[in-house]
Amino acid sequence: MKKILYPSNTRGSADYGWLKANYSFSFANYYDPERIQFGALRVLNDDSIAPGMGFGKHPHDNMEIVTIPLSGGVLHEDSMGHKGTVMPGEVQVMSAGAGVTHSEFNASSTEPLKLFQIWVFPDRQNVSPRYDQKTIASLLQKNELSPVVVPRDSAKEDQLWIHQNAYFYWGEFDTDLNYSFSLSAPGQGLYLMVVEGSATLADQTLNVRDALGLWDCEAIEISIKANTKILALEVPL
């Protein structure tokens, strides 16, 4: 097993007044040659957006973009004709493919919006752009890491999917436990972030927003404290 630790206080950061951002990988004005990507995972931004503010219309292409609201609503509009709000408990997926334009704003005029936005390189270029969002409550198993986004060829009717052999797992744990997690296939890596709480794996204790990248392993054992939330991203390396 090989690993790399990503302490939360070593992430890149930016404060634009209306936007306070933490960057797990190089993004915008933050550049670290040692933190360009983790395999197919290119971006994991931890954003706080002021009431009524956001990102105006801007283009993307050839990227799988997943947005996870943590608190507040994301007001989304795109060139494919989609317009609506993504709320906590939902996940949004957009395949930029051959090209798409979209905007994202805080839907509230009084409360900040907090979210993760994650970009994954696709396994094919210039696909037709697509959009989806779903409530994930029915996908979550208590005290487990549950897949909420899966590869296209593995998706069931009620699952979100992307053009990549990548899995997004979300777990909410209300008790102390030891948990065993297996990767889907050889050659995959796992990027695991503690969203809230604390967990120990591969002899590393992770606290809020700490992350660990793992590869050359088939399974890992995780010691998880009560009241912990975990985001785990399994991606090709």
Q: What is the DSSP letter of 132?
A: E
CATH number (domain holding residue 59): 2.60.120.10
Mean pLDDT by 10 residues, the chain (237 residues): 98 98 98 98 98 97 98 98 97 98 98 98 98 95 97 90 98 97 95 98 98 97 98 98
* Structural domain total, the chain: 1
Q: How high is the pLDDT of residue 157?
A: 80
- d(CA 44, CA 32) in angstroms, rounded, equals 14
3-class SS letters over 200-214: EECCEEECCCCEEEE
Where in the sequence is the domain holding 46, given as residue range(s)?
A: 2-236
Q: How many CA atoms lie within 13 A of 121 on its CB side?
A: 11
Angle made by CA atoms 152, 99, 231, in degrees to the nearest 5: 45
Token output for 12: 């890149």
Angle made by CA atoms 218, 223, 224, in degrees to the nearest 5: 120
